[in-house]
Structure 1
Amino acid sequence: MNWQEIFATRMDRMQASEIRELLKLLDQPDIISFAGGIPDPALFPVQAFQEAMTDALSPAQSSAALQYSVSEGFGPLRDWIVDEMAALGVPCTRDNILITSGSQQALDYLGKLMLSPNDTALIGWPTYLGALGAFNAYEPHYDRLIPRGNRSAEDYAKTAKDNGGRVKFAYASVDFANPTGETLDRAARENILDLADTLDIAVIEDSAYQSLRFDGDPIPPMLALEIARKGSINECRTLYCGSFSKTLAPGLRVGWICGAEPVISRLVLMKQAADLHSSTLNQMAINSVARSVFTDHTANLRRVYRLRRDAMLTALKEHMPDGVEWTKPEGGMFVWVTLPKDMDGAALLRHALETQKLAFVPGQAFFADRSGANTLRLAYSLADEAQINEGMKRLGAAIRDLA
């Protein structure tokens, strides 16, 4: 049987994640890996989750924990998120929150909700690889979102029309972005909102790392800035995607979308058709752990990851040859490295694995047009300070070899 003739055309746009393949290297003890942008499991609040699961499976709660539930999500958890969003300057109600299976499902749903084939999504250059994976299935074109540039809304609209569709949304990872570690300043966020108003499009605000700020003053989410303009979340076009994966635990797959009720109500229908609802047991556990340890736990994460960020920046300064540049993130998990123009990150990875037992992610995977060959992403969340210094020493040696 020729399955290829039966597959939908969208499957041609769906490729294996280069990062997921690289994660397999973590099982090799002789590899120093900066490839996986994942939290350190040694920092998971295991005891709190053990207690929360035991409580959820107690006679008083087990029926609810193991039963079908509402598609919108576990009510007390949505209430906790409402309070957290209010603290960020986003007053909302439970009806503005949909629980998803991680923020990755949120991105998939939003792509499915808005993109028809040949529509255009405005994205960063580079951007989060998971967003490209989520949106690719709906066969869009991509255009470069330039929040600080002088490109006009009319030019964006004309380019999208020439490609056979219209611009549907702007997607931005706003705080300590994956992959660059960079943060959009307030002016850039306001510019995106201005562009979205002119084009009459949605804004998808990916805030998976919002709680992991080490330095500098917090910047209001775009959704908060838009509410300040328009008075109510239900008048806003920004859809905020949050996650517990980078703060509490990724394995439970709990994230959320916060946005205007008319959008949430349509997403609920999508959730019903896809998987009915996210795991109630997992949501109950997340709710319990968030209420008991979130503030102290995220403070500890910031302390540990800040030390690792500092170690990486120090080691890069010490070991990188001339011609190599890197970002200096104020939080999150990533540093973005730009190599000399004639150097290929994928070739460097092959050489580094063979000669230095070192892994990272070549940057080309994060560009919709597969440019950026001379870039790479380093994740410091899993390595201690000694491993980071040794890893940057090996990276510098591998770069010198190819140079």
Structure 2
Amino acid sequence: MTVDWAHVFAGRVGGMTASEIRELLKLIDRPEIISFAGGIPDPDFFPTAAIARAYEKIFQSNTGAGGALQYSISEGFTPLREWICAYMGRLGVEVGLDGVLVTSGSQQALEFVGKLLIGPGDKVVVTRPTYLGALQAFSPYEPTYVSVPMDEEGPELAALEAALAEKPKFFYLVPDFQNPNGTTVSLARREAILDLCVKAGVPIVEDTAYSELRYEGETIPCIAALDAARNGGHLSHVIYCGTFSKTMVPAFRIGWVNAAPEVINRLVLMKQAGDLHCSTINQIVLHDIVSSIFETHVKHLRAQYKERRDAMLAALAEFAPPGVTWTKPEGGMFVWLELPEGVNGTALLERAIKEANVAFVPGSAFHADRSGQNTLRLSFSVTKPERIREGVRRLCNLLKTG
């Protein structure tokens, strides 16, 4: 008798769906495709020389190599956690080692948060739109999503207040240069969001993957810092998720979580059960390079990505037909387009690939309720300025022809 796997699978498997972005990344290897799909760093900017030197130092001694290739503690490589503590201190958050867990990218942090906080039917508040990877991380735990619309300053407060009244487990938010729409939540809105969540007793899961990639405007304190300022420098209502994937190298798969120690203690147990710990050698190498080049490297990234963002905004201003609007992000990797009602982003993608050799991500992927059919996300991070201009021209010509 054969196994009926569909019957054997746990019920929560039904909440697991493929990432449209991960599938679209396969198109990047086709040279004829101008891809605005994957929001990934440009490998031309990876600090390969510094990485090579760091690995070389490890293997210069048998003792160093042995430790780097060995099992390690689940919480993470202690010097790297100490660096994270110092980094958070500069942001205004006083966190000790007991408030830090190193994770396999911020994606694992989100998955752990879902496992820790969500039970079947529990409500989770997200923005509309929101990060697709967060939906993928949370959905297997069978939440009911409550989506809050956004304006140019962030989540709309009246809608958020109504959502919090439904007693959700947490509010998930990307406050800086949001993936997918590039919006940055204003300082006044951050304060108001924190006020509402504190009043409702609802924690905020703050995803800061893009916060270092600011190209213009004033830096805005993270919500974790606002929370800490009200609580003697320590975190109370915020779970802060950070990552080195956008600033250093995604293949290291190193991110982290800051939260109150009682939260971190539970997350460490999940880490032990999940994969024991992140790669020891990768953590050692990452600590070496962030200790020596973090500030200068991020400064270089800002200059390079700013040029590409500017190229995309200029091309849209030149070629976009009437009825198409787009965001003008101060940083990050994304521009969000809203098309006239009736234009379907998924159908447009099929045409764009076949007729124009251009790829992007349909906006409905970033909506918990699969709305936003007339929206799409363009990423400028891995495409050179001249190719950005040409890709936008081709895409806009398709929109003009209907």
User: Any residues of structure 2 matched to 1:347-362 within 5 Å, and which?
Assistant: 347-362=347-362
Alignment of 1:231-242 (within 5 A): 231-234=232-235, 236-242=236-242
Q: Distance in 1 between matches of 2:248 and 2:309?
A: 20
Give 2:200's aligned residue.
Answer: 199
Partner SS state of residue 37, structure 1: coil
Distance in 1, Cα, partners of 2:258 & 2:354: 45
CA distance in 2, matches of 1:364, 1:19: 12
1:157 Cα deviation (Å)? 5.3
Structure 1 residues 110-119 or 138-147, which shifts more?
A: 138-147
| 1:127 has 2:134 as partner | no
Asked if residue 69 in structure 1 is aligned to residue 72 in structure 2, the reply is yes
Structure 1 residue 232: deviation in Å? 3.6
Question: Which one is further off, 186-195 or 211-220?
Answer: 186-195
For 1:53 and 1:102, the matched residues in 2 are separated by 20
Which residue identity lines up with residue 277 of structure 1 in the other structure? H
Shift of 1:192: 1.8
Q: What is the alpha-carbon distance in structure 2 between the residues aligned to residue 51 and residue 393 of structure 1?
A: 42
Write the mapping of 1:240-319 to structure 2, written as runs, cut at 5 A. 240-319=240-319
- Provide the residue aligned with 2:42 in structure 1: 40
Do residues 142 (structure 1) and 145 (structure 2) align? yes
Report the counterpart of residue 156 of structure 1 in structure 2. Answer: 163
Counterpart-to-counterpart distance in 2, 1:325 and 1:381: 20
1:169 is aligned to 2:170: yes
2:256 counterpart SS class: strand
Q: Distance in 1 between matches of 2:93 and 2:376?
A: 35
Q: CA deviation at 1:292?
A: 1.2
Query: Which structure 1 residue ranges, 5 or more long, are not aligned?
Result: 161-165
Q: Which residues of structure 2 form unaligned runs of 5+?
A: 150-154
Partner of 1:335: 335
Contact kept? 2:148, 2:159, Cα under 8 Å: no
The alignment partner of 2:141 has SS state of coil
Q: 1:104 aligns with which of 103, 107, 110?
A: 107
Mapped contact 2:148–2:163 kept (Cα < 8 A):
no
Instruction: Indicate if the aligned counterparts of 2:157 and 2:193 stay in contact, CA closer than 8 A.
Output: no
Alignment check: 8 A CA contact 1:167 1:199 kept: no
Of 4, 10, 15, which residue of structure 2 is paired with 1:13? 15
Give the total of aligned pairs.
394
- Mark the CA change 1:177 to 1:157 in structure 2 (over 3 Å): closer, same or farther: closer
Q: Distance in 1 between matches of 2:172 and 2:284?
A: 30
Which 4+ runs in 1 deviate beyond 6 A? none
Over residues 14-45 of structure 1, what are the superposed CA-to-partner deviations in whole Å (9 max), with x where a residue is unaligned?
A: 11100111011011111110001000000000
Q: In the TM superposition, what is the alpha-carbon distance from 1:219 to its structure 2 partner?
A: 0.4
Q: Report the AA paired with residue 314 of structure 2.
A: T
Note closer, same or farther for the CA distance 1:152–1:209 as it changes in structure 2 (3 Å cut): closer
More deviation, 189-198/314-323: 189-198
Counterpart of 1:94 (choices 92, 97, 103) is 97
| Distance in 2 of aligned mates of 1:157 and 1:245 | 32
Q: Structure 1 residues 134 and 152, CA, compared in 2 at 3 Å: closer, same or farther? A: closer
Asked if 1:85 is matched to 2:88, the reply is: yes
TM-superposed CA distance for 1:156, in Å, is: 2.9
Partner of 1:378: helix, strand, or coil?
Answer: strand
Change (3 A) 1:151 1:359: closer
Could you tell me which amino acid in structure 1 is paired with residue 47 of structure 2? P
User: Any idea what SS the aligned residue of 1:227 has?
Assistant: helix
Change (3 A) 1:152 1:90: closer
Letter in 2 for 1:333: M
CA drift at 1:144: 1.9
Equivalent residue for 2:152? Answer: none
Measure how far apart 1:148 and its partner are: 3.1
2:27 match: 25
Asked if 2 retains the 8 angstrom alpha-carbon contact of 1:148 and 1:191, the reply is no
For residues 97 and 326 of structure 1, what CA distance do their matches in structure 2 show? 37
One-letter code aligned to 1:274:
G
Secondary structure class of the residue paired with 1:184: coil
* Alpha-carbon distance in structure 1 between the residues aligned to 2:376 and 2:104: 28
Q: CA deviation at 1:152?
A: 6.8
CA RMSD, 1 decimal: 1.2
CA distance in 1, matches of 2:213, 2:334: 11
Counterpart CA distance in 2 for 1:128 and 1:399 is 25
Report if aligned partners of 2:164, 2:197 keep a CA contact under 8 Å in 1. Answer: no
Distance in 2 between the 1:191 and 1:168 partners?
19
